[in-house]
Amino acid sequence: MLATRPVAIGRVLHPHGLGGEILVEPFLNDLTCFDRLCEVAVLLTNGHLQSYQVMHMRRMGERLLLQLEGCVSQEMARSLAGCDLCVGRDELPPPPDGEFYWFDLEGLTVYTEDGACLGRVEEFFPTGSNEVLVVRQGMQEMLLPFIKDVILAVDAAQGILQVRAIPGLL
């Protein structure tokens, strides 16, 4: 089982072939972290994590094919479709300076440079041109582009993200 907080690193798309291989859409840009995977946990639709040993992994373009121990048929692989693959946070390499894993931003409290609290980061999603943070406070929700003109500082250790309220943003 995972030693640290589980984080999703990919999503099972569908079975590949008849022997239980699964096609995975990775969430990480650096696919080399998948090369050393020995164990993953699958976040099942009922919310439980099921651990699997990785028997082998190979790349298929920008996607991955994994064979998990005990997943030996197309039907078993199909039951994992749509589920997230997770690893312990400590299994991922630190991101390069000035970059962040999206899951490390979740839960940070967002403040403007004037000190006004805007809420907490709840989600993060790509748009094609840039990523967007979903910040909520109570019933209020706002979308903040994750761009250098808006994001001033990220202090994960303190749990704070500081933003510049450019005109029209708030």
Q: How far apart are CA 101 and CA 91, in angstroms?
A: 13
Question: Which residue would you say has higher pLDDT here, 29 or 65?
Answer: 65
- pLDDT over threshold 80, residue 53: yes
pTM of the model: 0.73
Angle ∠(120,83,138) on CA atoms, nearest 5: 20
| 1-41 confidence digits (pLDDT tens) | 566 788 899 999 999 999 999 999 998 877 888 888 889 99
Residue 121 CA neighbour count, 13 Å, CB half: 28
- Domains belonging to the chain, first-starting first, are 6-91 (2.40.30.60), 102-163 (2.30.30.240)
88-142 pLDDT, tens digit each: 888 888 887 877 888 888 899 999 999 999 999 998 887 878 889 999 999 999 9
Q: Round to whole Å and give the CA distance between 85 and 24.
A: 8
